[in-house]
Amino acid sequence: MKTINTGVKLDVDLHIRLKALSDIKERSPHWLMKKAIEDYVNKEEVFERENREDEDRWQNYKLTGHGISQERVDEWLSSWGTDNELPCPE
């Protein structure tokens, strides 16, 4: 995998905290920053994907008026873990 160096400016207090945590974790400050950025980007990508899906569903509902009632969803969820588990409503 190709990598690119990127600088991050931290205030002094955060730098001190990062260094202390890296000592406790026995990891480098670089490793901790990379992990934190990776986790944040992964979380935000999921959030944005879900937002797009929600918007698509909302637009589809506005166009078609078709949706799944809360009662059908509740019935489906209540069947989970039972011998008579229902298929996901469409």
Domain positions in the chain are: 12-79
- The segment with the largest mean pLDDT, out of 1-10, 32-41, 60-69, 81-90, is 32-41
Per-residue confidence (pLDDT) for residue 48, from 0 to 100: 98
Per-residue confidence (pLDDT) for residue 90, from 0 to 100: 84
- pTM for the model stands at 0.71
Of 30, 52, 32, 50, which Cα lies nearest the Cα of 40?
32
What is the DSSP annotation of 35-54? HHHHHHHHHHHHHHHHHHHH
pLDDT of 20 strictly over 90: yes
Share of the chain above pLDDT 90, in %: 93
